[in-house]
Amino acid sequence: MSVQEDPVQREIHQDWANREYIEVITSSIKKIADFLNSFDMSCRSRLATLNEKLTALERRIEYIEARVRRRRRLLLRMGDPGRR
């Protein structure tokens, strides 16, 4: 004598299988979302640090360029006795 599931039991087993599958998918989606949020925060932090460094370099370049222009003007005046 074989034991067969009745239709109600089959539906219950299928329902539990579906629920387990949905739980696995939901958990995976949450893990992916957590990773992406963490990655986003890390990237934003690193980009902010990089932006600060670039801004400091830009200011330094502007300062050096201004000194070079000033020095160049000074040397041009010294080289032209009529301009003194």
**How confident is the model over 14-44, as pLDDT tens digits?**
999 999 999 999 999 999 999 999 999 999 9
How many other CB atoms are there within 10 angstroms of residue 72's CB atom? 10
- 2 pLDDT more than 90: no
Tell me the C-alpha distance between 73 and 14, whole Å. Answer: 86
pLDDT at 23: 98
- The answer to whether position 1 is within a domain reads no
Does residue 25 lie in a domain region?
yes
Q: Distance (Å, rounded) from C-alpha 53 to C-alpha 65? A: 18
Question: Which residue range(s) make up the domain with 11?
Answer: 7-83
Q: What is the total count of domains within the chain?
A: 1
Confirm whether 75 is domain-assigned: yes
Q: Tell me phi and psi for residue 3, to 5 degrees.
A: -95, 120
**Residue 28 counted as domain residue:** yes
Q: For tokens 């939901």, name the residue.
A: 26
